[in-house]
């Protein structure tokens, strides 16, 4: 029986051909020179993407990472207590190893490592109530300014006071920490910003600073909520946006549908080049940032806080287009790793968009998506793999789809 080959199998082939060995764990290439890592990934990506069912599509070579090490703008540690030694430490984010992987540290900026060290020092103080309440420590933001998030399982007055002492101590050691927040996760989830929460209670609490940070991408200014999704590799985001813009090929008479919009990275970057933008994502605060960013970039935005489902897409198609000559639609969708929900692609195709750009951070979903677009009357036109996660086995892939027949 024919077995479908995954990207990992093509990567294994490329590693054997190069007589290379890599590490086990999330940072498999963390201690490999990037020139060698890139060449292996480039060959594996080309072989894999040639076999995803996108017949006739142009496949670009893998886009290099401009900053292959020390690039992460979001990193985390799991707070653990080693029972045998009776010692608190900050472990790998998933808590799977009772120490921090040295290879994974190479992917994080030195500033993050210093902040984690200061938090660990504080939590080791005797009789401090914060240590027993902690799930995760998260550092986010830009390369110059940082947000500290203390993810706690319990929250009461004593823990809040201890969290404030911790945050102030860290700020005294690292002035780049301009904002600090508590995130309440009573389930103690392995996901550091678990949004699947039980009703009631406090979700988050500000210690100091603002609820968003600011960043600039290709001369477009953005505000990003401290709990919103953002790309983990900010150094490559300008190139990422440029590729999406090229594949979208928008025109002034287009309406842009920015689905799974996050803080509006793509919607704001194209806002001045289209008639208007419809931005959709589940979290209301995140959508609020998208609305602000698109408007600040000179666009007209309709921001909808909703899960991207077949029902929400059909409702979107039934809405009035507003004033002005909107002649066609272009869709950019950037779903989570698991890909689009069942029926979403078909629902998008029912609106007959002129072009679609789908972004994949889970390469295992590409075949399914290509197959569904083909069934809905769209063909893959161009495929661009990007090394958004250097040092790891991951890739980001952007694919443009166009109707089989001109609409």
Catalytic residues: 361
Cα distance between residue 207 and residue 165, in whole Å? 10
Q: If phi over 0 gives left and psi between -120 and 50 gives alpha, with beta otherwise, what is residue 282?
A: alpha
d(C-alpha 262, C-alpha 116), whole Å: 27
For residue 378, what is the enclosing H or E element?
strand 378-386
Is residue 350 part of an annotated ligand binding site?
no
Q: Is 231 annotated as a binding residue?
A: yes
Distance CA(118)–CA(116), nearest Å, equals 5
Does the annotation list 334 as a binding residue?
A: yes
> Is there a contact between 53 and 374 (Cβ–Cβ < 8 Å)?
yes
Spatial separation of the C-alpha atoms in residues 173 and 400, rounded to whole Å: 47
Report d(CA 264, CA 336) in Å as an integer.
15
Retrieve residue 362's tokens.
């889970």
Nearest to 192 by CA among 288, 78, 92: 78
Which H/E stretch holds residue 238?
Answer: helix 237-248
223 is in an annotated binding site: no
What does the alpha-carbon distance between residue 17 and residue 392 come to, in Å, rounded to a whole number? 19
Rounded to whole angstroms, the Cα distance separating 120 from 139 reads 13
Residues 6+ apart with CB under 8 A from 28: 22, 103, 391, 392, 393
* Tokens encoding 221: 């200014």
Query: In the 8-state DSSP scheme, what is residue 373?
Result: H
Backbone angles phi, psi at 14, to 5 degrees: -65, -35
Rounded to whole angstroms, what are the CA distances from 176 to 63, 117, 131, 160, 339? 31, 15, 23, 22, 35
Q: How far apart are CA 381 and CA 249, in angstroms?
A: 12
Q: Residue ranges for the binding site for S-adenosyl-L-methionine?
A: 231, 260, 281, 334
């Amino acid at each position: 029986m024919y077995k479908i080959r995954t990207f990992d199998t093509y990567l294994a082939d490329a590693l054997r051909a190069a007589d290379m060995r890599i590490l086990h764990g999330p940072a498999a290439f963390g201690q490999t020179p990037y020139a060698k890592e890139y060449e292996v990934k480039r060959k594996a990506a080309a072989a894999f993407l040639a076999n995803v069912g996108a017949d006739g599509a142009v496949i670009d070579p893998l886009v290099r990472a401009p900053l292959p090490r020390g690039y992460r703008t979001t990193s985390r540690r799991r707070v653990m207590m080693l029972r045998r030694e009776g010692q608190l430490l900050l472990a790998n984010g998933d808590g799977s190893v009772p120490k921090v992987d040295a290879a994974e540290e190479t992917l994080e900026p030195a500033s993050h490592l210093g902040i984690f060290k200061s938090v660990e020092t504080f939590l080791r103080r005797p009789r401090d109530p914060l240590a027993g309440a902690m799930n995760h420590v998260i550092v986010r933001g830009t390369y110059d300014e940082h947000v500290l998030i203390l993810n706690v399982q319990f929250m009461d007055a004593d823990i809040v006071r201890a969290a404030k002492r911790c945050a102030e101590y860290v700020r005294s050691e690292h002035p780049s920490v301009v904002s600090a927040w508590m995130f309440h996760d009573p389930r103690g989830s392995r996901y550091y910003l678990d949004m699947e929460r039980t009703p009631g209670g406090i979700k988050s609490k500000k210690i100091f600073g603002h609820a968003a940070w600011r960043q600039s991408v290709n001369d477009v200014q953005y505000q990003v909520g401290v709990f919103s999704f953002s790309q983990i590799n900010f150094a490559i985001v300008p190139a990422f946006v440029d590729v999406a813009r090229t594949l979208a090929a928008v025109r002034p008479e287009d309406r842009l549908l920015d689905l799974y919009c996050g803080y509006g990275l793509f919607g704001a970057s194209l806002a001045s080049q289209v008639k208007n933008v419809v931005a959709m994502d589940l979290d209301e605060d995140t959508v609020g940032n998208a609305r602000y960013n698109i408007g600040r970039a000179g666009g007209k935005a309709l921001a909808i806080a909703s899960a991207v489902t077949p029902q929400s897409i059909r409702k979107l198609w039934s809405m009035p287009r507003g004033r002005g000559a909107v002649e066609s639609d272009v869709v950019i969708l950037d779903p989570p790793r698991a890909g689009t929900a069942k029926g979403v692609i078909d629902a998008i195709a029912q609106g007959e968009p002129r072009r679609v750009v789908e972004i994949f951070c889970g390469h295992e979903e590409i075949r399914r998506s290509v197959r569904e677009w083909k069934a809905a009357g769209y063909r893959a036109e161009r495929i661009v793999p990007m090394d958004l996660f250097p040092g790891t086995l991951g890739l980001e892939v952007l694919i443009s789809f166009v109707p089989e027949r001109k609409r």
